Structure 1
Amino acid sequence: MNLINILEPLLFSILVSSMIGYNRETKSSPAGMRTYNLVCLGAVILTIISKELSEATAQAVITNPELKGIISADSSKIIAQIVSGIGFLGAGTIIVSQKRVKGLSTASSLWVTAAIGIAVGLRYYLLALFSSLLVVVILATFNKIIPFQSLKNLAITISSVETEKMITEYFKNNQITVKNLTTKVYTNEDRKYYTNMYTIKPRHVTDMHHLIIDLARIDDISSIEILDV
């Protein structure tokens, strides 16, 4: 391999992976641009090695027919190891919190970046370029195009059952669906407090700001907190 054949796929992999990494960086993803660059670069390096080994083995068999059946190099085995190996890295970005899963977009985009790296390593540059563009479009625009109604966890601390009835009435009047409700009870200075964990489905994401302001007007509520879902 000459210098151009080595640098060309390596530099191209940095270009296409930076497109995806930049999007994830702006979303405060656990994996930033450097992670995506390294994943794609690693996939390219291993794919090039795999391809070179296969070509060298094939040439050796052609030159020495007696070696047929003795030596072999299957490039697909190394590629398969790349795909399975990147799964461990992706799993590390997935976080389970409050019975909800976060980080699946990051994990899946890392996985597809490895696949793009394999395409670059095999010099399928157009496939890698258009795949990267599609990944960026999916990550950047689909949540805006499709109006998902996400669930929100709301922790509200109160000291009376009557306040809970007022909160329930507020949700009902404002067409806010309560998907789940859990309660924790604790005592402070001989007074009982209740922290209700509401899993709600607001009509719009922007409703949360006005929702908290409205609930804060209820005197008996001592704290309101939005938790990660």
Structure 2
Amino acid sequence: MTLQEISFRLALAIIIGGVIGYEREYTNSPAGFRTHILVALGAAIISLIQVEMVNRSMLLIAEDANLSNSIKIDMGRLGAQVISGIGFLGAGTILHTKGSIKGLTTAASLWVVACVGLAIGLGYYTISILGGISIVIVLATLKRFEMKFISKTDMRKIYIEYIERDKVIEVFEKHIYGRGIKVKNIEFYMDNQEVNGSNSCLFTLKVPKSLEINEVILSCATDKNILKIYEVLE
């Protein structure tokens, strides 16, 4: 291959990997812009090495036909190692917290970027470009569809200081009614009573990802029985 051809393939890997990585970076995923570029670039380099090995083997066989029985050409061997080897990097992006698993989409995006990188290195430009566009559409566009039509939840904690204990649960349930929120646990504290005559509690909620928890907080804050309310970030 010529220097221009090699440079073009590597540049295309950087561009496609960068576009996909930017979307992951924008959503604060464990693996972002540079990681996706490096994965795509590395896969493309492996493919280029593979192509060069095949080309060199063909030249050697052309010079000496007897070598055809001793030189074995396998176009898929190095690529297969990339596909299986990328698993360790993807596993590092998967996090298990509070009973939920996060990072699977990023792990999948790393794997598919590696596949695109292999296609670029092998010179399959149509597959590479259309594949890259498809990945961006799935990550960016379908995310909105998923959040709107496929119910998923997060565990959130809301801290409340209140005056009357009997009313705080009633008030809170009134403001979360019909929003798809489930109360998983309530912890009551008495520490503030001696200081300002108020009590406090901590609500653990199962909240749909499509719901802005600040809407609930602002709604509850208008009640006279609630003195202070905010989300506890851990």
The residue identity in structure 2 corresponding to 1:157 is: Y
Gaps of 5+ in 2: none
Change (3 A) 1:178 1:12: closer
Q: What CA distance in whole angstroms lies between the structure 1 residues aligned with 2:99 and 2:227?
A: 25
Cα offset, 1:193, TM superposition: 4.7
Change (3 A) 1:57 1:184: farther
Cα offset, 1:109, TM superposition: 1.4
Change (3 A) 1:52 1:169: same
| Residues matched between the structures, number | 223
Aligned to 1:197, what secondary structure does the other structure show?
A: strand
Change (3 A) 1:187 1:87: farther
Cα offset, 1:179, TM superposition: 3.8
Is contact 2:60–2:67 with CA below 8 Å preserved after alignment? no
Query: 1:209 — aligned with what?
Result: 214
Q: What CA distance in whole angstroms lies between the structure 1 residues aligned with 2:183 and 2:192?
A: 30
- 1:76 matches 2:76: yes
The residue identity in structure 1 corresponding to 2:201 is: Y
Please provide the CA RMSD for this pair: 3.0
- Once the two structures are superposed, what CA deviation does each residue of 1:20-77 show, in whole Å capped at 9, x if it has no partner? 2232233333323222221111001111212322443455456253672x55343322
The residue identity in structure 2 corresponding to 1:153 is: M
Gaps of 5+ in 1: none
Is contact 1:152–1:226 with CA below 8 Å preserved after alignment? no
Q: What CA distance in whole angstroms lies between the structure 2 residues aligned with 1:71 and 1:3?
A: 26
Aligned to 1:115, what secondary structure does the other structure show?
A: helix
After TM superposition, the score normalised by the length of structure 2 is 0.78
Query: 2:230 — aligned with what?
Result: 224
Is contact 1:156–1:197 with CA below 8 Å preserved after alignment? yes
Aligned to 2:29, what secondary structure does the other structure show?
A: coil
Q: Percentage identity across aligned positions? A: 30
The residue identity in structure 2 corresponding to 1:198 is: L
Query: 1:126 — aligned with what?
Result: 126
> 5 Å matches for 1:62-211?
63=64, 65=66, 68=69, 70-145=70-145, 147-148=148-149, 149-158=151-160, 160=165, 162-172=167-177, 175-179=178-182, 181-184=184-187, 188=191, 193-201=200-208, 205-206=211-212, 208-211=213-216
Q: What CA distance in whole angstroms lies between the structure 2 residues aligned with 1:8 and 1:156?
A: 52
Cα offset, 1:16, TM superposition: 2.0
Change (3 A) 1:212 1:8: same
Change (3 A) 1:66 1:144: closer
Q: What CA distance in whole angstroms lies between the structure 1 residues aligned with 2:67 and 2:26?
A: 57
